[in-house]
């Protein structure tokens, strides 16, 4: 299989962390590509021209990190990263949805600040997305007990989202008012899978 990759994409990083945690990394070839430039090879595989895109051995493609992670999780031997049934199935999916929502907000802030001309930036939009991130971090701080001792798709997604906030400076000094979340993230970010997939500064 071939994974279309960008070293700064948090959605790609989520897939890469899962590959490390499940032992599937040696089954995947990784190729860096710039979706922003709409390369023809990527357009043929994914009309959205976005990463991650996973090209299967039969030539079919999967895209969206949630879809790719679930597909890969069904291909490894060992404890699933997404429990197949029960309450934890829904809790892990909820946590992944919250993390992806944080990422969506952070990416929109990045695009607004870095891609749009300064005179055309919409401060109301930026503040709306920042408040959503702040509320989400507050929620994680309040519910930190639910994350402890977990290594699953939800915890991976949350750690990757926090790492992206740090990379882009999208949440300022979030640790100051969320010490429990900061402690959890400091520990989780030392996992070999997180260290190996850290984006370039």
Residue ranges per structural domain of the chain: 2-73, 87-196
Cα distance between residue 91 and residue 100, in whole Å: 14
Mean pLDDT of the chain, nearest integer: 95
Domain 87-196 has CATH 3.30.70.3290: no
Q: How confident is the model at residue 120 (pLDDT cuts 50, 70, 90)?
A: confident
Give backbone dihedrals phi and psi of 142, rounded to 5 degrees, phi first.
Answer: -70, -30
Reported in sequence order, the residue ranges of 59-184 that DSSP labels E, i.e. its strands, are 61-63
What pLDDT shows up at residue 122? Answer: 78
Separation between Cα atoms, residue 52 and residue 131, nearest integer Å: 27
Strands 29-32 and 2-5, sheet pairing = parallel
pLDDT of residue 66: 97
Judge whether residue 116 has pLDDT over 80: no
Q: How confident is the model at residue 57 (pLDDT cuts 50, 70, 90)?
A: very high
Nearest to 159 by CA among 118, 132, 192: 192
Residue 46 near residue 61, CB atoms below 8 Å: yes
Out of 45-59, 64-78, 120-134, pick the least confident: 120-134
The pLDDT value given to residue 166 = 95
d(CA 14, CA 32): 15
- pLDDT number for residue 76: 94
Quote the percentage of the chain above a pLDDT of 90: 88
User: For residues 36 and 115, is the Cβ–Cβ distance under 8 A?
Assistant: no
Q: How far is CA 3 from the centre of its chain?
A: 15
Residue 95: its pLDDT value, please?
98
Instruction: Provide the pLDDT for residue 192.
Output: 98
pLDDT tops 90 at residue 112: no
What integer pLDDT is reported at residue 170 of this predicted model? 87
Question: Which class does domain 2-73 fall in?
Answer: alpha beta
Q: Is the pLDDT of residue 140 over 80?
A: yes
Closest by CA to 161, choosing from 191, 143, 137, is 137
């Amino acid at each position: 299989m071939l994974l279309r990759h960008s070293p700064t994409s948090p959605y790609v990083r989520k897939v890469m962390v899962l590959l490390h945690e499940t032992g599937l990394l040696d089954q995947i070839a990784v190729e860096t590509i710039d979706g922003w430039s709409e390369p023809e090879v990527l357009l043929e595989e994914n009309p959205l021209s976005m990463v991650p895109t996973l090209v299967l051995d039969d030539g079919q493609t999967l895209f969206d990190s949630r879809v790719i992670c679930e597909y890969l999780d069904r291909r490894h031997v060992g404890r699933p990263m997404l429990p197949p049934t029960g309450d934890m199935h829904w809790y892990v999916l909820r946590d992944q949805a919250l993390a992806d929502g944080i990422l969506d907000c952070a990416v929109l802030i990045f695009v607004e600040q870095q891609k749009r001309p300064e005179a055309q930036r919409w401060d109301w939009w930026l503040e709306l997305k920042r408040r959503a991130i702040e509320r989400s971090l507050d929620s994680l701080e309040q519910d930190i007990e639910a994350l402890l001792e977990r290594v699953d798709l939800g915890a991976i997604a949350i750690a990757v989202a926090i790492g992206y906030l740090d990379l882009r400076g999208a949440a300022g000094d979030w640790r100051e008012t969320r010490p429990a979340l900061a402690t959890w993230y400091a520990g989780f970010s030392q996992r070999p899978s997180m260290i190996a997939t850290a984006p370039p500064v």
